[in-house]
Chains A and B, each alone.
Chain A
């Protein structure tokens, strides 16, 4: 026989427990006064209405150190669960700053790793909304080990599911390393910062005086360190941008990104290019104008916009299909490759390769930046990352030489022998080892000035065109700039079924390559 009153009693106790898990109202007010939303509100903004299912709501801390048992609360300072974003499955965790400053205790960390593991098993993106002061000091080494569990799960999930981190408050100490292991970091301006050691420690150790935002705010990580990939003015913008990013990514490494109908004519001619790209090779232009002219209207979504601006990388669509775009930016430092742009490009290429997003290069570059500063800081090992990333990538790789492709930069961004599937060039492209004057100065050092001039002319005529490369099959096609869009879409269509069986098989027999990190 069912005992109705006992049944009701159990349900009441359950309801009470749920109430206890709710956020502390005063603390919520405090969170709002800082211009920050709560963990619950953030998740609500991110997922489709009514789609969220919470996990581990009753998990609480275990430690008996200090006064922790009196302070413990259900959830242990992080909400985890799953839901949908634009009808696609995602796993989410959001740290709750109102509970012990979002500090990462043993169980808090286990909850995060557990939901990441669920995302990995089920093949869906995992999104972390971070707001934490770092390790929960009272829990000692258990809080650190839990961090290790998260980092390991991040690493195992890397290249299998898209992992996205949004910094929406402090993110200090061990809290920074999980985001750093994920594919993309967003950071909200003014309220958020990331650093390993804070201003107080820095002051006591090195004497340098700096505040939190100056040390690791949104601008710093978007423009200087390159730690963050996206800048957001506020939390709402941040979450909208996360949703937009997800639209270019597949659910996991076994899927391709969903097409999104852009309704842009695949045969549309690019007549505006002649007004954008100067024929005088010495004159600069904004390569974004070319990208926007060629790809589907309104589809460009730039990644790492503020960092290493001599290269432009981002997602876009061609005939509604997602592509990863890598371009030299002649407007900034002549679009040269250097340490930072090498890091930026190689990381982006690897993200695209992991998630089956074809790569399209827009090339106009004279080479790697010379100088002691670059050499001493290791431009060799950083520059090598680009070679490694492209050589290893098995997605369709298309390269368009717009104006210049010289020397090492030619190899990195154009070379058929290094594995580009399809190379296009505009009729005024210059594909050579170096510029004419530099070449003549090396080859004909002792000649008179007038003799050199003649040699420069000879060199220019012989090498500074796309036809010398086309003659040898190193350029697949020379095209009229106005047909660029059509040609790229055509090439992507052909390459959409590309398989690199040899490379893929070889990969099974080795653990992994050794990228010059």
Chain B
């Protein structure tokens, strides 16, 4: 059964009818014109949504990958950084572990001070 929808655009009413054809496409009747619309399968939609989410949900923070002592901080709040820039050096397991920026972006806040110790998972840097 086609369902009729009334759409108001700039004060003018338009009649829209949507009808599903046997091959899964949609027929959209808009006033007196008819458009055939192809919809995506659930899997395709899932893939697209997933891709969008991935590009949209960039990491907004850096957490300590292992317990150690903050040896040096090479950036400050407000700095514009590029992906791969070395931001903090963490002395752990007798080595300087360079912590790099995972993104291109601007630093909002640095949550640690030099010579303080951090645990694995502690918040180090927040991006804007």
Contact = CB atoms under 8 A, between A and B. Distances in A.
A373 B93 contact: no
A441 B51 CA distance: 52
B103 interface: no
A84 B67 CA distance: 50
B93 A334 contact: yes
B70 to A, nearest CB: 15
Given A211-B50, A213-B50, A371 B119 contact: yes
B120 interface: yes
A367 B121 contact: no
A211 B51 CA distance: 12
Nearest to B47: A190
Interface in A406-427: 406
Given A282-B94, A333-B66, A334-B97, A371 B120 contact: yes
A454 B66 CA distance: 30
Given A33-B41, A190-B47, A369 B66 contact: yes
B46 interface: yes
A103 B51 CA distance: 28
Nearest to B95: A334
B61 to A, nearest CB: 17
**Interface size class of chain B, counting residues whose CB lies under 8 Å from the partner chain:** 20 to 34
A213 B44 CA distance: 12
B50 A373 contact: no
B1 interface: no
Main secondary structure of the interface of B (DSSP, over half): mixed
A30 B41 CA distance: 9
**Interface size class of chain A, counting residues whose CB lies under 8 Å from the partner chain:** 20 to 34
Contacts of B92: 333-334
B78 interface: no
A252 interface: no
Contacts of A370: 67
A373 B120 contact: yes
A353 B24 CA distance: 54
Interface in A192-243: 211-214, 217
Most buried by A among B41, B50, B94, B98: B94
B96 A282 contact: yes
Contacts of B51: 190
B79 to A, nearest CB: 23
Nearest to B98: A284
Most buried by B among A333, A369, A372: A333
A486 interface: no
Interface in B74-127: 91-98, 119-121
Contact of A35 (B47, B50, B97): B47
A282 B50 contact: no
Given A211-B46, A212-B46, A213-B46, A371 B67 contact: yes
A404 B94 contact: yes
Interface string B42-66: 0110110111010000000000011
Contact of A284 (B44, B95, B121): B95
Contacts of B121: 373
A281 B94 contact: yes
Interface in A2-52: 30, 33-35
Interface of A: 30, 33-35, 190-191, 211-214, 217, 281-284, 330, 332-336, 366-367, 369-373, 404, 406, 435, 438
Given A191-B43, A214-B53, A369-B66, 13 more contacts: A33-B44, A35-B44, A190-B51, A211-B49, A281-B95, A333-B66, A334-B93, A334-B94, A336-B66, A366-B94, A373-B119, A404-B94, A438-B94
8 contacts: A214-B50, A282-B95, A282-B96, A334-B93, A335-B93, A367-B93, A406-B94, A438-B94
